[in-house]
Structure 1
């Protein structure tokens, strides 16, 4: 669904619109979970790189060097240099967002399948989170770049899904507003 052209929503029946909206939001929740996994791994890799003497400098204006808004920059020259496990809560804590956005329901549960975990693990390659200190910086940077590239692709897919879900909502609303659909039909037991 996410890789196909956007459907012609005006041609779909009301039941089809509702089903498409539900399926699209389920797919978006799965991608959102995968995206959170990718961001967590990127934050951990950056913290390990920053912990090392002569760690990479972060570009000005971002907390994490990518503009993603995650991570708090702990582990640099002025941050703690303790064990990675001890620093995980600080590494994985998001800084408050400076961008105002409209509210959207967010699901916090795991995805319907196990694929997101496998996908995020595969992108790490030979780099294992449990033993980051054993890997040279070049391997960590390569893994970080793979994660960044995949996160950009996942974000694009997510945005397309959200546009489709928003389009379904707008079309359903229009049909009720214009009298093409009736609330009585909904109350009579039609799919929600």
Structure 2
């Protein structure tokens, strides 16, 4: 079951596919930023917003994977006496998988939008919780758990790499917008007053 879940995660969090139609494919395609300096400011802002939305979804999916990692790490810690052995992992799930805070760990970037596929992501979490292996972790050897942990850590690392690539796209769009305001190609006063329709 763990391998099946890992495969599902890999499919859900698959990398960009050249010529693909997913938002991730578009944002990370080499053509996404082509001619950025010549595009209308409305289009630059649209590109940035689309990339920001993809970053939010990748951040949320990353947290889901981290939650799965936390479950396995908690079981390993329980075996090593670091947790109360009378407490089962199922009893610990509300704490381990608490996802009210969807902010990413480690990179310290402020997300301006929330994830757009919350229902899809929550179904994914529910599927993980319903996975029979959560109640059968005690039947696995520590070596098996470590192998599973390594797979999920690798998936989380892959998503983090995608997220950093998307952030580079966001930064490129933001830099172009800043240049236009700096060079007088866009109305700074309208932006400061909140009247810029392309914000």
State the TM-score bracket (shorter-chain normalisation). Answer: 0.5 to 0.7
Give unmatched runs, 5+ long, in structure 1.
53-75, 94-98
What value does the CA root-mean-square deviation take over the aligned residues?
3.5
Distance (whole Å) between structure 2 residues aligned to residue 140 and residue 184 of structure 1: 58
Distance 1:153 1:116, change over 3 A: farther
Give unmatched runs, 5+ long, in structure 2.
1-25, 99-104
- Residues 1:7 and 2:33 are matched in the alignment: yes
Q: Please say if residues 33 and 111 of structure 1, whose CA atoms lie closer than 8 Å, have aligned partners that are also in contact.
A: no
Distance (whole Å) between structure 1 residues aligned to residue 60 and residue 174 of structure 2: 23
- Residues 1:105 and 2:130 are matched in the alignment: no
Q: Name 1:190's counterpart in structure 2.
A: 197
Indicate which of 8, 23, 29 corresponds to 2:56. Answer: 29
Q: Name 2:138's counterpart in structure 1.
A: 133
Secondary structure of 2:117's aligned partner? coil
Q: Name 1:80's counterpart in structure 2.
A: 84
Relative to the length of structure 1, the TM-score reads 0.66
Distance (whole Å) between structure 2 residues aligned to residue 122 and residue 11 of structure 1: 46
- Partner deviation per Cα, 1:156-190 (whole Å, 9 max, x = no partner): 11011111112211211110111111247767763
Q: Please say if residues 34 and 117 of structure 1, whose CA atoms lie closer than 8 Å, have aligned partners that are also in contact.
A: no
Instruction: Give 1:118 shift.
Output: 6.5
Distance (whole Å) between structure 1 residues aligned to residue 132 and residue 60 of structure 2: 21
Secondary structure of 2:164's aligned partner? helix
Q: Counting helix residues as a fraction of each chain, which structure ranks higher?
A: 2
